[in-house]
C-alpha cells in the first residue's frame, strides 16, 4: 500500500466521516471542513477522499446519482437509498456474506454492495401529508 504523509485535513475528514451516519457527499464534507480550514479547496477534499478510500479507511458509495457518498463504517453491510431525498442509511442484519456466496458459487468474490431503495420514513411522511 502506498504511504502518504500525515495530513491534518485528511485526519479531520476521516474523523468527520466516521462520526456521522449520514453518508456525506464531498460537498457536505467540504462545507463542514471549510470553517476549520479556510483555505480548503474541493480538490483537496476529493484528493483526501481518494486516499482514504485507497487505504480502506472509508468506503466510496456510487449509487448512480450525481454525487458519490462516503461511509466511515467499512465492514460489509447493505444500504437503503431514498429515491426522493437521496439520503443513504445503513441496513444491518443477516444476508449471505462474501464467504458464503463464494463457497456456493466457487467464484472469487472481492466484495459486495447491496442496495435497497424507496422512500425513507421522513419522505414517506411528507408524501402522506401532501395527499
Q: Which class in CATH covers the domain with range 75-131?
A: alpha beta
Tens of pLDDT, residue by residue over 92-105, are 776 777 778 788 88
Query: Residue with C-alpha cell 502518504?
Result: 4
One fold for 1-72 and 75-131: no
Rounded CA gap, 58 and 71, in Å? Answer: 6
- Does residue 80 sit in helix, strand or coil? strand
Per-residue pLDDT of 25-53, as tens digits, reads 999 999 999 999 999 999 999 999 999 99
- pLDDT band of 109, cuts 50, 70, 90: confident
Binning the chain into helix, strand and coil, the percentages to the nearest 5 are: 40, 15, 45
CATH fold for the domain made of 1-72? Arc Repressor Mutant, subunit A (1.10.10)
For 83, list phi and psi in degrees, rounded to 5: -75, -10
Cβ contact 40:29 at 8 Å: no
Which residue's entry shows cell 443477516?
Answer: 94
Of the pLDDT bands very low, low, confident and very high (cuts 50, 70, 90), residue 11 is very high
Task: Parse the chain into domains and list their residue ranges.
Answer: 1-72, 75-131
Amino acid at each position: 500500500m502506498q504511504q502518504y504523509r500525515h495530513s491534518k485535513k485528511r485526519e479531520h475528514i476521516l474523523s468527520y466521516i466516521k462520526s456521522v451516519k449520514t453518508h456525506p457527499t464531498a460537498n457536505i464534507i467540504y462545507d463542514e471542513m471549510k470553517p476549520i480550514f479556510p483555505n480548503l479547496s474541493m480538490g483537496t477534499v476529493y484528493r483526501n477522499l481518494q486516499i482514504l478510500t485507497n487505504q480502506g479507511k472509508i468506503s466510496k458509495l456510487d449509487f448512480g446519482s450525481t454525487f458519490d457518498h462516503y461511509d466511515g463504517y467499512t465492514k460489509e453491510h447493505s444500504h437503503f437509498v431514498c429515491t426522493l431525498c437521496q439520503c443513504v442509511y445503513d441496513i444491518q442484519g443477516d444476508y449471505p456474506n462474501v464467504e458464503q456466496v463464494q463457497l456456493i458459487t466457487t467464484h472469487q468474490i472481492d466484495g459486495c454492495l447491496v442496495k435497497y431503495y424507496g422512500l425513507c420514513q421522513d419522505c414517506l411522511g411528507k408524501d402522506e401529508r401532501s395527499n
